[in-house]
Amino acid sequence: MQNVWEVWTSALTDQECDTIVDLAGRYQPQAATVGFDDGKRSDKSYRSSIIRWLDVTVEKALVDRLMQFVHRSNRSNFGVEIDAPYDLQFTEYHGTSQGKYDWHQDVWLESPRPFDRKLSLVVQMSDPGDYRGGQFEFFGLESPGDRFAPRGSLLIFPSFLQHRVLPVTEGVRRSLVSWVEGPRWR
């Protein structure tokens, strides 16, 4: 593995970001939960955000655009066996509710599923002037910091890395999140 994570600064244009924000508005908002499958639960002290699940089959052009970066990054950095993302999540962290997501990883290692999340990707959908707080951090590793601040920046990392989003204290931080899956880790 060359890099532990990779940032593509301004990977998407403002116009592409505007289109995604408009697109997300067509999907039903819901309060974010923690856990997987039957173990899902609400815990606002741990995770406070509004999410919208975008249909990857309907939004195929968006998935294809994101996968251009994933394939390049996987080839040069990670080299893991991947198939495709099966989920697209548009997330809003609101300053009025101190939106955040505490330390977590995106894999469920005890899962009975025949696949695992291999690579996580996060696209910064907000301009850094639209909110305060909300920094993305890795546990025990250098965090992407200002490299990941510009609108349209894309962060790719192995899904097993622990990470968090600090509380947003003012405004709204928007992001597009996906997980590229593949056969079980071996």
What three-state secondary structure class fits 177?
A: strand
CA distance 134 to 98: 9
How many Cβ atoms sit within 10 Å of the Cβ of residue 78?
21
CA distance 76 to 123: 19
The answer, yes or no, to whether residue 184 has pLDDT greater than 80, is yes
Contact (Cβ atoms closer than 8 angstroms) between residue 146 and residue 170: no
Q: How many domains does one find in the chain?
A: 1
More confident site: 88 or 39: 88
CA angle, corner 138, sides to 20 and 33, nearest 5? 55
Q: So what's the pLDDT on residue 41?
A: 65
Contact (Cβ atoms closer than 8 angstroms) between residue 45 and residue 100: no
DSSP secondary structure, 52-118, as one string: EEE-TTTTHHHHHHHHHHHHHHIIIII------EEEEEEEEEEGGGT-EEEEE-S--TT--SSEEEE
More confident site: 107 or 93: 93
> Does a structural domain hold residue 178?
yes
**Residue 148 in tokens:** 């990941």
Contact (Cβ atoms closer than 8 angstroms) between residue 135 and residue 166: yes
**Residue 183 in tokens:** 């056969």
> Does a structural domain hold residue 83?
yes
> Does a structural domain hold residue 1?
no
Q: So what's the pLDDT on residue 36?
A: 60
pLDDT tens by residue, 83-93: 988 899 999 99
Hey, what amino acid is at 125? M
Q: What is the CATH number of the domain that holds 57?
A: 2.60.120.620
**Mean pLDDT of all residues belonging to the chain:** 92
Model pTM?
0.92
**Residue 149 in tokens:** 């601040």
- Range of 139's domain? 6-183
